Amino acid sequence: MPVIQSQAGSPLSIDTLRTRAQRGLTQSAFVQSSTPRFSGPEGILYDFNYGCRVQVPADRWRVRMLDLDTFNQFNQLFDEPVEAHTVITSRRKYFVRFELQVFDGERLVFQHRTRAAAMC
C-alpha cells in the first residue's frame, strides 16, 4: 500500500486519505434497523418511522405500499411477496401519506392508512 507523508511528517495511507476526504454521513444517525414498533393482526409489525416499514410473520405474504397523494400509475410503491421476518422499507421517506396492505394469498389480512394529523 502506498504511503504518503503528511505536512507534519507522519506517514498517511491511501485509506486514511479517503476517509478524511469523505464528507457527511453515508447513513442516517437516527435510523436503526430494528423491528417496526406497532403490532397488527396475526403477528404483523409496522410503523412509519423513516418511511413505511412492515414485517410479516410468514413467507409468501404479499405487501403493498401505496402513496395516497399521487393519483397516477406510480402511486403503487411496492407490491410483492416477501419472506417472513424481513423488514420491508419504502424508498420514499418523508411527507408521504402511505396506505399499507398485507395479503395472505387473496385474503386481506391488514390495511392501514397514515393520518396527516398524526404526522404533525
Burial 3-22 (b: 16+ CB within 10 A, else e): eeeeeeeeeeeeeeeeeeee
Give the pLDDT score at 74: 62
Query: How do residues 64-94 score in pLDDT, each as one tens digit?
Result: 999 988 776 668 899 999 999 999 999 888 8
Q: Are 53 and 87 in contact (CB under 8 A)?
A: yes
Can you tell me the distance from the alpha carbon of 93 to that of 119, in angstroms, rounded to the nearest whole number?
A: 12
Query: How do residues 47-59 score in pLDDT, each as one tens digit?
Result: 988 889 999 999 9
Can you tell me the distance from the alpha carbon of 6 to that of 33, in angstroms, rounded to the nearest whole number?
A: 38
Instruction: Please say if the pLDDT value at position 97 is more than 80.
Output: yes
The CATH code belonging to domain 30-119 is 2.60.40
Q: Are 44 and 102 in contact (CB under 8 A)?
A: yes
Can you tell me the distance from the alpha carbon of 117 to that of 106, in angstroms, rounded to the nearest whole number?
A: 31
Against a cut of 0.75, is the pTM above it? no
Question: Percent of the chain having pLDDT more than 90?
Answer: 47
Specify which residues 52 forms β-bridges with.
Answer: none
For the chain, what is the mean pLDDT? 78
Q: What cell does 52 get?
A: 413505511
Nearest Cα to Cα of residue 102 among 118, 84, 119, 115: 84
Instruction: Please say if the pLDDT value at position 117 is more than 70.
Output: no
